[in-house]
Amino acid sequence: IRERLDKLFDKGTFDEDHLWSHPIKTGFDIDERELPGDAVVIGIGKIHGRPVCVYGHDFTILGGTFGAALHHKVNRAMGMARERGIPCIGVIDSGGERIHTQFAIGGEALASGLYFVPSINSGVIPQITVMLGPSYAGSAYSPTMADFYIMRNKIAFMSVASPALLKSVTYADVTQEELGGAELHATTTGNADFLTESDEEALEICRELVRYLPLNNRESPPIIDTGDDPSRRDDRLIEIVPAD
């Protein structure tokens, strides 16, 4: 995830928060494992010189699944963005909820914030989802509440259940693409606003969005001189709408 964030932010501007967070004890064997940052990175950096808050799942840590500390960190990132009046970006790559977490102290209560906070941020700050991997179960809900949704083709998948889980319950045999592929969400469900072919393309679109969006609902969008004369004529406009 840190390599992806290096490509997202202006060089040397990202300041990571809660780097040394550890998972809450659950009483299961998983407590003995080393889980740096509880599978998520949060912090503030700059894109085209403008401040932005981010949270990004680390798929190398238990498939980016949600633990109680992860819930707390993501809630904190979204809250920091609202308090500072800056955009919030989620880089999604997660297998969903870590079931052990539901037995930890406050596990379920912290999880509810992942769905509540985006709703109160809506209309206050820009929210952007960049999906660069799977997104199942709990991780499939809040990303769709963003203002802009970017998915990487063939790599990003979003559904409430994985094909394996669906088959175990309904005996339906479907592929990831059929159940929640990026192309499906871009052409059929309408969840995805942008369909990309690489991480770099997805992150560049995100950077471009931040470039012209207002930081919050009290600010005007930045004015960029493109050198294009607003009074120029374009005769092609006459042909766009047919005479009949």
Map out the domains of the chain as residue ranges.
Answer: 2-240
**For residues 28 and 65, what is the distance between their CA atoms, to the nearest angstrom?**
16
Query: For 92-133, what is each residue's pLDDT tens digit?
Result: 999 887 877 665 555 555 667 788 899 999 999 999 999 999
SS3 149: strand
Domain 2-240: which CATH class? Answer: alpha beta
Amino acid found at 215: L
Q: Are 203 and 92 in contact (CB under 8 A)?
A: no
The residues of the chain scoring below 50 in pLDDT are none
- The tokens of 19 are what? 């780097």
pTM: 0.88
Cβ contact 61:35 at 8 Å: yes
Instruction: Give the DSSP letter of residue 154.
Output: T
Report the alpha-carbon distance of residue 29 to residue 25 in Å, rounded.
Answer: 10
Rounded-to-5 percentages of helix, strand, coil across the chain: 40, 20, 40
Three-state SS for 9-68 is CCCCCCEEECCCCCCCCCCCHHHHCCCHHHHEEEEEEEECCEEEEEEEECCCCHHHCECH
- Partnered with residue 35 across adjacent β-strands are none
Query: Three-state SS for 205?
Result: helix
pLDDT, position 109? 56
Residue-level pLDDT at 141: 82
Please list, in sequence order, all residues whose beta carbon lies within 8 angstroms of the beta carbon of residue 129, skipping any fewer than 6 positions away: 89, 90, 92, 143, 144, 146, 148, 149, 150
- How many CB atoms neighbour CB 67 within 10 A? 29
Supply the pLDDT for residue 106.
56
Q: What pLDDT was estimated at residue 111?
A: 66
